[in-house]
Amino acid sequence: MKKLVHLTVLLIALLVLGLFAGCSSNEPGGENNAAAKEDFSIKIGGSSTLAPIIAQCADQFTEEYKTWDKVDANLSEEPIVIFVSTGGSGFGLKSALDGTFDFGMVSKTLKDEEKEQFADGTITQIGSDVLVIGVNADNPVAQVKPDMSTEDLVAIFSGQVKNWKEVDPSLPDRPIVVAVRDLGGGASEVFDNAIMKGTPISDQALQIPSMGALAGKIMDNTDTIGYVSSGLVNQNPDKIIPISVDGISPTLENINSGAYKVGRPLLLVSKDAPNDREQKFLDYLLSETGLKVVEEMGYIPVAR
């Protein structure tokens, strides 16, 4: 009984302490900032698409070198610490500008005025996320109409055309199931910029919570059409059939030459010119090992 009381008191004390600690760290404290000046860590934040790639690279980088002097003899013998956190592309841009992060991760095409804000710093592309419009392998549209015009796609995704028969008379009389990612997310923004150009997506479109599930839906359901990350199409070559857009198929050449337009760059931005440590990590990302991670995660690495 006595023990129980002690334990409870201890727990409450911890709880109260925790609350106070929580409060004090929110205050704009002078001490914390002073400590941060001596901080050798690299802080990176932003797009949730890029985060797994950068986190993986950061892990490998830290495992391989452990301290900075092993990366480059000129650097001090500090342990390598790289923080990666997510919060979306917009958050990445904002936090890179206000100095919360050394690098912001951004997975969208930057507007000119956004590029200007980083004129003193760097904008580094490490790869692209390409969306492929795919259909189920058992859907005859893969043979009948493997190439669609932008207008066809807009009609299908906006819900004006609801039946496969309307796409081509030789197709079966079945409803078209349109599968998209969450409206407002990065992928749907890319699709809107490249194809829809502001035409709203049909309100009958299924919003699927992840790319993997969207690919799964296309593979499971013969009537589905949707956009998928290129990596997932490459992993399932016989199950998802890519549809060309205006005669341009999503091949590696077309993607790298910029002819295939349904995609977005994966960028790291910084407000100031990177210091030696940051530059070393950037170099690592753009090295063969770094770009291999980009490819393994299902994205197209930037051409070296």
Partner 1 sequence: MPKKRVIAIDRSNKEWKEKIISSIIIATATVSSLLLLAMLLFILKESWPVWSQIGISSFLSGASWRPLGSPPQIGILSMIVSTLWVAGGALLIATPLGFACAIFLAEFAPPLLAAVLRPVVNILTGIPSVVYGFLGAAVLVKFFEVKFDLASGESLFAASLILAIMVIPFIVTNSEAALRSVPLEYRYAAMALGVSRQHLAMKILVPLARKGMLGALALAFGRSMGETMAVLMLAGNILRLPMSWFAKGEPLPALIALELGSTTPGSLHYQALFAAGLVLVLMVMTVNLGINILLYRLQKGGHTI
Interface residues with partner 1 (CB under 8 A) are 5, 8-9, 12, 15, 19, 48, 86-88, 90-91, 94, 174-177, 182-186, 200, 203-209, 213, 217, 220-221, 223-224
Q: Give the shortest CB-33-to-partner 1 separation in angstroms.
A: 22
**Which is nearest to 58 in space by CA: 282, 295, 304, 300?**
282
Show the CA angle centred on residue 230, arms to residues 164 and 64, nearest 5°: 160
Give the C-alpha separation, 268 to 250, whole Å.
24
Q: CB-wise, 91 or 299, nearer to partner 1? A: 91
Q: Give the shortest CB-4-to-partner 1 separation in angstroms.
A: 9
Q: Give the shortest CB-58-to-partner 1 separation in angstroms.
A: 21
Q: CB-wise, 13 or 303, nearer to partner 1? A: 13
Show the CA angle centred on residue 64, arms to residues 62 and 65, nearest 5°: 70
**Which residues partner with 265 through β-bridges?**
128
Q: Give the shortest CB-221-to-partner 1 separation in angstroms.
A: 6
In 3-state terms the chain splits into helix, strand, coil percentages (rounded to 5) of 45, 20, 35
Contact 128, 266 (CB under 8 A): yes
Q: CB-wise, 54 or 282, nearer to partner 1? A: 54
Q: Give the shortest CB-184-to-partner 1 separation in angstroms.
A: 5
Host H or E run for residue 201: none
Beta strand 177-181 pairing with 206-208: parallel
Three-class SS state of 207: strand
Alpha carbon distances (Å) from 31 to 11, 41, 49, 102, 155: 28, 17, 34, 20, 59
Q: CB-wise, 100 or 150, nearer to partner 1? A: 100
**Which is nearest to 200 in space by CA: 214, 180, 215, 218?**
180
Q: CB-wise, 62 or 100, nearer to partner 1? A: 100
Q: CB-wise, 48 or 62, nearer to partner 1? A: 48
Q: CB-wise, 7 or 273, nearer to partner 1? A: 7
Q: Give the shortest CB-107-to-partner 1 separation in angstroms.
A: 10
Q: Give the shortest CB-100-to-partner 1 separation in angstroms.
A: 12
